[in-house]
Amino acid sequence: MDQSEIDTLLAGGTKSPKKPKISAPVKDPVPVPPVLAAEPHAEPKADGSGHVISELDTVTAVTERESNKVMDQLDQIGQLVNRQQLLITEIMAHEGAQAPDIQKVVHEVMSAGKEIQDKVFEAMDLMQFQDITRQKLERILHHLRQIHDYIVDLLGTGLKSESQRPSISHTIAQTGTTPDENKAHADAVIEAFKSKKKG
């Protein structure tokens, strides 16, 4: 997310700054960067409600897109390391590279390349935080929508929030950020279920 996107989000998420003293209606008062305009739910509802909901939707969409950019970069690093390994293998086949000292250095370079590759994979795995954070935000959005729809019902005006939303987890209290922290618990439940089914 670049600075202009952050600024736009911050501007939309809080009260508008002082309005310019312009008497004539402004056709396009806030230029929306194309990058945000393209996101789903980026536009607030016509009745002005659901603004926070649409802003949070934008945040989740933007973070997913940016996460994919990070994944692209990691993919490229991985490919470059692969290419480097291939080139080193070719070098090792040359007659001049058979000296023990050279072979030792080449092996060290290969080993370092393998370590980089492992770190790239680890970094990719850590990108799971994006999906987990998104789902936590979805849960907050779900509650905001419920409040919003309740008020709409109460006042008998405005539009209800859209219905096509992802289902949400019943609780986020148990959703951690450390890989496999729920594995033992899940495995125990699966085992108990299977034993019960057999019995």
Partner 1 sequence: MKILIVDDSSTMRRIIINTLSRIGYTDVVEGDNGKSGLERLGQGGVEMIITDWNMPEMDGLEFVKTVRVQNPVIPILMVTTNAAKEDIVEALQAGVNNYVVKPFTPETLKEKIESLLG
Based on the shown chain and the rule CB under 8 A, indicate whether residue 165 belongs to the binding site for partner 1.
yes
Cβ proximity of 7 and 32 under 8 Å:
no
Grouping H, G, I as helix, E, B as strand and the rest as coil, residue 5 is: helix
Q: What's the Cα-to-Cα distance from 98 to each of 51, 83, 89, 174, rounded to whole Å?
A: 68, 21, 12, 56
Based on the shown chain and the rule CB under 8 A, indicate whether residue 124 belongs to the binding site for partner 1.
yes
CA angle 9, 129, 186 (to 5 degrees): 140
Span of 44-52, 82-90, 148-156, 163-171 interacting with partner 1 by CB under 8 A: 163-171
Helix ranges, the chain (H): 3-13, 34-37, 51-93, 100-126, 128-155, 183-198
Q: Using the rule CB under 8 A, which residue among 91, 132, 151, 159 binds partner 1?
A: 132
Interface with partner 1 in residues 68-87 (CB under 8 A):
68, 71
Span of 18-26, 105-113, 153-161, 175-183 interacting with partner 1 by CB under 8 A: 175-183
Least Å distance, CB 163 to partner 1, is 10
Cβ proximity to partner 1: between 84 and 135 the closer is: 135
Q: What's the Cα-to-Cα distance from 106 to each of 82, 118, 190, rounded to whole Å?
A: 15, 19, 48
Q: Using the rule CB under 8 A, which residue among 105, 151, 159, 186 binds partner 1?
A: 186
Cβ proximity of 125 and 158 under 8 Å:
no
Q: Using the rule CB under 8 A, which residue among 76, 103, 128, 157 binds partner 1?
A: 128
Cβ proximity to partner 1: between 14 and 164 the closer is: 164
| Contact footprint for partner 1 (CB under 8 A) | 64, 67-68, 71, 121, 124-132, 134-135, 138, 164-172, 174-180, 182-183, 185-186, 189-190, 193
